Amino acid sequence: MKLPESMQSKGLNVAIIMDGNGRWAARRGLPRVAGHRAGIASVRRIVEHAVDRGIARLTLYAFSSDNWRRPASEIQSIFWLLRAFLRLETQRLLRRGVRLQTIGRRDRLPKPVLREIEKAESATATGKCLHLCVALDYSSQESIARAAVGVTESLTNIGSSSLDIFKLMLTQALMMEGGEVDLLIRTGGEKRLSDFLLWESAYAELLFTDCMWPEFDKNDFDAALEEFHRRERRFGGLPTATLQSAASTV
């Protein structure tokens, strides 16, 4: 789908909860791991398309801190696929100007995966087109709590107890991770955030689709961007039409 010039999405911060891999596989009589494999192919497609559309930042929820509750064999397969993705895709990401980073805890990740992440992060560090953040062993509540502890320590050191300064510093600490989200998409039909970018999505436009992640393609992404551009963001203010009619009656 070709978007008109005005609908190009330069500079947007998009986040995606990539859900539905397991159900996609089950519907085809396949093991869940086949869904995760197909999900990786979807990641490749969507990252390419995000670059083409001029998206500034794309944060992909790949593994939540609660996903450790899954069977060990599924967790192993997910990390194996992730490692293979990083090994195979880093050069392509580099060529396309993508800077890859992960957010979330690193201390519980399998060591070979961590090594591959570090290699990919340093190889793509100069990427200027798209900032790709992969959320791994990620919990938004935990990252807010960690940031709050850090900010409290800094403020205690400087002897400040201002709530405004606390909020500003907390926002700064968290924005380093996910940035302020413009559009948050969740595939797979569920309508919840599952502990993803809670602070950063304060004014995000939310878009839930029944499409399973392995089936989410460029057209679906464009349709989501179109829907985003149709919405009016007010950030607590009044609709533009109301303001205009108020101005014309003064």
Q: What's CA 34's distance to the chain center, in Å?
A: 22
Q: By CB under 6 A, name the one of 12, 14, 15, 18 that touches ligand IPE.
A: 18
Stretch that binds Mg ion, among 11-19, 131-139, 141-149, 195-203 (CB under 5 A): 11-19
Site for ligand IPE contains 210 (CB under 6 A): no
Tell me whether residue 21 is one of the annotated catalytic residues. no
Q: How far is the CB of 76 from ligand IPE (least distance, A)?
A: 12
Q: By CB under 6 A, name the one of 104, 178, 188, 214 that touches ligand IPE.
A: 188
Structure tokens at 205: 């436009």
Q: Could you give the string, one character per residue 153-192, with x where binding to Mg ion holds by CB under 5 A and - elsewhere?
A: ----------------------------------------
Query: Binding to ligand IPE (CB under 6 A): which residues in 23-42?
Result: 23
Question: Sign of the CA dihedral 63, 69, 73, 76?
Answer: positive
Q: 153 phi and psi, to 5 degrees?
A: -60, -45
End-to-end CA distance of the chain: 43
Beta-carbon count within 10 A of 37 CB: 20
Q: Which is nearer to ligand IPE, 78 or 169 (CB)?
A: 78
Between the alpha carbon of residue 223 and those of residues 20, 65, 207, 217, the distances in Å are: 19, 30, 10, 10
Site for ligand IPE contains 187 (CB under 6 A): no
Q: How far is the CB of 67 from ligand IPE (least distance, A)?
A: 5
Q: By CB under 6 A, name the one of 165, 166, 194, 215 that touches ligand IPE.
A: 194
Of 13, 21, 67, 219, catalytic: 67
Site for ligand IPE contains 216 (CB under 6 A): no
Site for Mg ion contains 19 (CB under 5 A): yes
Q: Which is nearer to ligand IPE, 104 or 127 (CB)?
A: 104
Of 19, 137, 182, 220, catalytic: 19
Site for ligand IPE contains 67 (CB under 6 A): yes
**Residue ranges in the chain assigned as alpha helix (H):** 21-27, 32-52, 72-95, 111-123, 140-158, 163-175, 218-230, 240-249
CA distance 73 to 76: 5
Q: 243 phi and psi, to 5 degrees?
A: -65, -40
15 with 59: CB under 8 angstroms? yes
DSSP-derived letter for residue 3 is P
Residue ranges in contact with ligand IPE by CB under 6 A: 17-23, 61-64, 67, 78, 188, 190, 192, 194
Residue ranges in contact with Mg ion by CB under 5 A: 19
